[in-house]
Amino acid sequence: MTGTRVLVLNSGSSSVKYQLLDMRDGSRPAVGLVERIGESGSRLQHSPAHGESRERNGSVPDHDAALKAMAAELDRDGLGLDSPELAAIGHRVVHGGLRFTEPTVVDDAVLAEIERLIPVAPLHNPANLTGIRTARALRPDLPQVAVFDTAFHTTMPESAARYAIDVETADAHRIRRYGFHGTSHAYVSRETARLLGRAPEDVNVIVLHLGNGASASAVRGGRCVDTSMGLTPLEGLVMGTRSGDTDPAVIFHLMRVGGMSADEIDTLLNKRSGLIGLCGDNDMREIRRRVDAGDERAALAFDIYIHRLKKYIGAYYAVLGRVDAVAFTAGVGENSAPVREAALAGLEGLGLAVDGGLNAVRGDGARLISPADARVAVAVVPTDEEMEIATQTYALVKDSGNLT
């Protein structure tokens, strides 16, 4: 066994985030991001642990080009893909359907299954596939491991996973709730138990992953029992650009009365709705600035976001029966004190409260923000999907003897 490093790729619809992690000590020799792939003014940002960060602007036409640009930057730091220290490449794959409940070493059959799932993850799975194919072409001898966003949610009971629509139709088209962001929900629920000094099996947690995409989950004793995203990452909470829950009849209405096509409505609900559709901004920092300046549209957008969040907290409280902790994570959850305060305001009757002083403190690690005598712990727990993917990837290649 030689290599101890894992390269993690998180390919989104128009970006690739990457991190090189060393599993000996948890260090990150390099992290980076390629943004605006296929759009004008693409940008690559690369930060080696030892050396200056670099930024490049120019055209990156597709994901294949993005990964080659990443490989070139790693090469410049002597961290190239040909390095013998590299043990494996771990890929975030958003949709794994029902088949993939564990991290999986990629072969042709696995690639074919990820491809088959494109219709239920049209924004994400094609980018994930390109990431795997390009990485494989660059290092054919190295194990490529797929870590699925859906895997953690496969423990949901049928009562939570099924929609109440005709069973034969649903089954014929594999329509059910799969859930996403599972790597984050798994990691954060475990870290929350650790923060409380208890075993994950003994703890019930509501995890609120609030990034650009956002989802909530109810985790009982380390196993997911419900989550807010469904067949696709469109259901549930109000997000940066996605509507979350709507009456499905909105779609028929827009088709019949609004004269819109299915593709136009897909774009409307996924890219022009949520916070950006409500007020023109999807960044919570900008929205709060506008709210504080008295902007009414921003204030309404914020209120709608919070109202939906509060409904899911209440719903998952009821699903779990006993809640030990509520954990806030991802860009908004980790950084926005006003969101955390507003989401739990008025829930003292459920034993939920935020300590104003603790909530206002900015910090790096996992921390409690509930008053000392609170019945339910409220925590800010930074997510680390890359570390989780690297850990799962390394464990798999070590155990399966895939390590060269």
Enzyme catalytic residues: 149
Q: Which of 330, 366, 368, 396 binds ligand ADP (CB under 6 A)?
A: 330
Find residue 216's DSSP bridge partners.
208
Q: Among all chains, which residue has been given the structure tokens 């794994």? A: 96
345: tokens are: 């305001």
Q: Which of 148, 180, 305, 328 binds ligand UVW (CB under 6 A)?
A: 180
CB of 268 to ligand UVW, least distance (A): 17
Nearest CB to ligand UVW, comparing residues 335 and 404 = 335
* Distance from the first to the final alpha carbon of the chain: 6
- Eight-class DSSP state of 54: E
Q: Return the residue nearest ligand UVW (CB atom).
A: 213
Interface with ligand UVW, residue 94, by CB under 6 A: yes
Nearest CB to Mg ion, comparing residues 46 and 185 = 185
384: tokens are: 């680390």
Interface with ligand ADP, residue 332, by CB under 6 A: yes
CB of 211 to Mg ion, least distance (A): 4
Q: Which of 151, 284, 320, 396 binds ligand ADP (CB under 6 A)?
A: 284
CB of 330 to ligand UVW, least distance (A): 8
Write the CA distances from 94 to 90, 125, 225, 228, integer angstroms: 13, 6, 19, 15
- Eight-class DSSP state of 245: S
Of the listed pieces 72-80, 97-105, 205-213, 276-284, which binds ligand UVW according to CB under 6 A? 205-213
Could you tell me where the beta strands, DSSP code E, fall in 131-182?
144-148
Query: Per-residue x/- mask for Mg ion, residues 178 to 217, rule CB under 5 A?
Result: ---------------------------------x------
Return d(Cα 254, Cα 249) in angstroms, integer: 9
Write the CA distances from 98 to 11, 113, 158, 231, integer angstroms: 21, 11, 12, 11
Return d(Cα 254, Cα 187) in angstroms, integer: 39
Q: Which of 122, 126, 221, 331 binds ligand ADP (CB under 6 A)?
A: 331
Query: Per-residue x/- mask for ligand UVW, residues 3 to 42, rule CB under 6 A?
Result: ---------x------------------------------
CB of 234 to ligand ADP, least distance (A): 14
Q: Among all chains, which residue has been given the structure tokens 């339910």? A: 376
142: tokens are: 């190295």
Which stretches within 151-217 are classed as H helix? 158-161, 167-172, 182-196
Return d(Cα 96, Cα 312) in angstroms, integer: 25
Of the listed pieces 102-110, 209-217, 247-255, 345-353, which binds ligand UVW according to CB under 6 A? 209-217
Return d(Cα 7, Cα 132) in angstroms, integer: 12
Q: Which of 179, 211, 222, 244 binds ligand UVW (CB under 6 A)?
A: 211
Return residues touching ligand UVW (CB under 6 A): 12, 94, 149, 180-181, 211-213, 233
The residues of the shown chain that bind ligand ADP, judged by CB under 6 A, are: 211-213, 240, 282-285, 330-332, 335-336
